Structure 1
């Protein structure tokens, strides 16, 4: 039984069957018909879904950066922008109005997780430059967690009335998030995210604290400290 991954074969078979009945349609027309038969608005949308399922159009992740677990990989491409060195990109796979509606409940996020050891009792500021294109919303974010994963501090800029997330199409803009890190903090998580449709570029991430407070390394999956904030390195092993 065919699936949507076999759309091109289905279109080829459809064109042949129609030709045998003296009905001439182009391959492009048959692709559009197959997409509609599968309940998808058009061939471009179907082609994007096929590419996402096969991983044909995936971007290379920056070294030591992760895609957040609940990111919908079938809706978003995330990784280094091959056209702009030192820049990471998050983009929706489907253009606005092309059959797939992505709302604020849909999002893509690139992130890092580090130990809180060096930052306990301090205020920590994350700064980065973002640029957007036809975006519902794009922002940086930071979260401070306790020993059992409880959220102690959080800011993703989305609900701010002033100096909040970027919307629509914007030029490069520097954004900041500042949080205090309680003594009971165990980990700090940060990154940038795109809500809904659009494209979001990020570069020049910086993490600053009021003073150094070096602590011993703990054995877990978090990075000891921020690394590759300029996206200079490609895919590689963490820690």
Structure 2
């Protein structure tokens, strides 16, 4: 199991200049500060994400599960975890954005999971939390682990990889 430090995350998205991400020492989960992503304006077209990229070779030919605990405040469109795997030419192998369990509105802390199979030639693994539209989302207790095949997939498998 790999625990991800908040300092390793970066801000991106379709409109990243409309969002800020930081380590929030006031909004705690199990006594730990939370990674926060929030919009700078009340009405926004676009999305922001905070994410991390890892070497995917350690996860090749494995089933992995990303889990994280989210809390939201006034999320206009949706927020949720996402994960993607790519090969050496950045071709997309798999993607999941927590659909249909995307979060909106104001919610208390809740754990979410994404499970997918990683192909044999995975080079990079990217994952994070997305905020579409305005609002605020906190992320904590992020874990990435290799699981066995009894854990069901949560995404559509891309064929022929």
- Find the counterpart in structure 2 of residue 112 from structure 1: 52
Distance apart, 1:71 and its partner CA: 4.8
Structure 1 length normalisation: TM-score? 0.55
Counterpart CA distance in 2 for 1:86 and 1:117 is 30
Structure 1 residue ranges (4+ consecutive) displaced by more than 3 angstroms after TM superposition: none
More RCO (CA 8 Å, sep 6+)? 2
RMSD: 1.7
SS in 1 for 2:90: coil
Counterpart CA distance in 1 for 2:16 and 2:95 is 24
- Find the counterpart in structure 2 of residue 134 from structure 1: 74
Structure 2 length normalisation: TM-score? 0.80
Unaligned stretches of 5+ in structure 1?
A: 1-60, 96-100, 212-239
Equivalences for 1:1-239 in 2 at 5 Å?
A: 62-68=6-12, 70-84=13-27, 85-95=32-42, 101-103=43-45, 106-135=46-75, 136-158=77-99, 160=100, 164-210=101-147
Counterpart CA distance in 1 for 2:14 and 2:8 is 17
Counterpart CA distance in 1 for 2:19 and 2:8 is 19
Counterpart CA distance in 1 for 2:47 and 2:24 is 18
- Find the counterpart in structure 2 of residue 216 from structure 1: none
Q: Is the 8 A contact 2:62 2:146 kept in 1?
A: yes
Q: Per residue, is there more helix in 1 or in 2? A: 1
- State how many pairs are aligned: 139
